[in-house]
Amino acid sequence: MEGRNDIREWLALAALPGLGCVLTRRLLGAFGTPARVLAAGKKVAQVDGIGRNLIELFSSPARLDKARFWADQEYKRVCAANIQLLCCDDSLYPSLLLNIHDVPILLYCLGDLDCLDVPAVAVVGSRTPTDYGRNISAEFGRQLVRNGFAVVSGLAQGIDGQAHSGALEANGRTIAVLGCGLDVVYPRKHSHLYKQIIEKGLLLSEYPMGTPPEGFRFPVRNRIISGLSLGVVIVEAAVRSGALITARLALEQNREVFAVPGRIDSPKSEGPHGLLRQGAVLVRSAEDIVAELPPSSYAAENTLSREHEISSVVSPNTFTALPDDLSQEEEALMTVIKTDPIDIEQLSEHMGLPLNALHSLLLGLELRGLIQQVPGQQYIRS
């Protein structure tokens, strides 16, 4: 959070009732910054999806002041707990997550932010697994980190906790996405694991401090688990399971879905076996996962990590000279694309071009080796 003078405005915007992630992004797209959104008043009516209640909210100084007061208090709580806040415009914000439909506006982070630079695979499943499921999920956690991946899961009992533990046992990185505030340890029996992840991994949540672990929050947070990951592994899950929600979200986000086969007479196998019938990839080891992921996907993630490390000593303008025969539009596009990845929607906004015209320009630059596409329809300079 160092150097961010606008963090309280981000918090105040996130505190406004009835304003979800999608509408918040539309408002930011229309007005630019949280401060301008908060000052927009009735002008917010020009944004698609903003109804009468929200227009009244933005027109009420008292209600906006209340949100700002809460933001000041929340900022103090966050600082006291040594938690870092990542806004969705932050250069450290995970690039894969930026490309889901309902991007979390703020991420509360506790632990090692470098975990976000490592290509990740999620391992999820039943809260009441069999011994087979426990052993398999821990082994997948160990194998994945040995193959260079971070392990993402939800810190729940059962499969989630075993996957985190396996990753930590192998001295690897793991990311736990919580369905409550970061200062709330849930489940309580995972308090030791919670502390281990703070020391050696990363805890994430989109929820404010003190938010209780209510049931409806967990399906919502599952989109972050899949959104952070190149693929999702389902170990054991009943037919009606939160893990299958994560699998569905992964498909919607264009992520790979992997399923581990189980005993044919176990109800815990019904979820992954159903996914296998629908076309999920059958996996027996981390090597099966590596074989299914395009090498460019995790190579690009590692490249982005390296670029982030050197960005403080290399000017973004120290590139090879551009060819003389570029069109004006191509030159303008090259001034926008830097070493930090930028997605196609942001490029469209910068350039004022429709996506079909932009695609043509990007393809031409990519064929000439001037830019390259990385996961999530994002582009960087070659």
Q: What is the mean pLDDT of each run of 10 residues along the chain (382 residues)?
A: 77 93 92 95 94 95 97 97 95 93 95 96 97 96 96 98 98 98 97 97 98 94 97 94 93 95 94 95 94 68 37 34 73 80 79 77 78 76 80
Angle at 84 between CA 78 and CA 90, to 5 degrees: 130
Q: Note whether 125 and 36 are same-domain residues.
A: no
pTM: 0.77
Closest by CA to 202, choosing from 182, 221, 186, is 182
- What six digits make up the tokens of 126? 């039943």
Q: What is the pLDDT of residue 331?
A: 79
Q: How far apart are the first and last CA of the chain?
A: 30
Q: Note whether 167 and 201 are same-domain residues.
A: yes
Q: What is the pLDDT of residue 275?
A: 96
End-of-domain residue from the set 58, 80, 102: 80
Within 8 A by CB and 6+ apart from 309, the residues are: none
**Count of domains in the chain?**
3
Within-domain flag for 309: no
Backbone angles phi, psi at 322, to 5 degrees: -75, 150
CATH number at residue 187: 3.40.50.450
Range of the domain at 206: 110-293
CB 241 within 8 A of CB 271: yes
Q: Note whether 73 and 209 are same-domain residues.
A: no
